[in-house]
Structure formats: structure tokens, C-alpha cells
Amino acid sequence: MTPLRTLAASTPLTLLTVAALVAVLVAVAVKGFALTIFGALALYFVLWWTFLFAILPLGNAAEADPQRLVPGQDPGAPAAPRLREKALLTTLLAGTAFIAAILIFPLARL
């Protein structure tokens, strides 16, 4: 099992991992690059949601077995959306973009 799937095994573990990674990234931005806590969180928030919408459709496949469809379910809905894995992947990619942004752009006191 990959580390991503291990961390995505339960919702509390996924939320704890995401919160810990965000806390580390914000601490680095505040201490190392003179961003305000609010500015660092705002920048990360925008990056995280942007990456989430880019990652959400990856690897989705509609339910192939018509017997498994629930009445009222959209037939194009993903059979296994893997949202916890996608939240972790989004956090890692947004963190990479966040660090790149604070290294490249002069964002002190943002």
C-alpha cells in the first residue's frame, strides 16, 4: 500500500495530516519569509482550492454495473471518487506551489 493510501485510510487521519502539513507550510512562510499568518493562509487557501478543482476529475470512472446504481443517483457519478486521497494529493501539490510562490515573488508582509 502506498503512503498516500495509508494516510487516506480514515477521514480523521487524513484531516490530521492535512492540518499538520498546512501548519508547517504556514509556519515556514511566517518565520522564513515574513508573511503574516492571514496572508499565508489566504494564499495557501486559494492555491489549495485551485489544485483541488484540477485534481478532482482525475481517475474517475462512472459505475459500470447498472445493478449498483441507487434510485436517484446520477449515472455519471464516480463509482469510487477517492476524495481523501485527492485531498492529500491536493495538499502536497498546493504546498509545492505555495513554497515556489513565496520563493519567487516578494510577498513579505502579505
In a domain, 71, yes or no: no
Domain with 43 in it = 34-58+78-109
Reported as a single tens digit per residue, the pLDDT across 35-48 is: 999 999 999 999 99
Q: Does 43 reside within a domain?
A: yes
Q: How crowded is residue 21: how many other Cβ atoms within 10 Å of its Cβ?
A: 16
Spatial separation of the C-alpha atoms in residues 18 and 108, rounded to whole Å: 25
Q: How many domains does the chain have?
A: 1
The answer to whether residue 46 sits within a structural domain is yes
- Does residue 84 form part of some domain? yes
Q: Residue 23: inside a domain, yes or no? A: no
CA distance 7 to 77: 25
Instruction: With H, G, I as helix, E, B as strand and everything else as coil, classify residue 78.
Output: strand
Q: What is the pTM of this model?
A: 0.87
pLDDT tens digits for range 50-72: 999 999 999 888 877 778 888 88
H helix runs in the chain, sequence order = 3-7, 11-33, 37-55, 83-104
Domain membership flag for residue 41: yes
CB 35 within 8 A of CB 110: yes
Evaluate whether residue 73 is within a structural domain: no
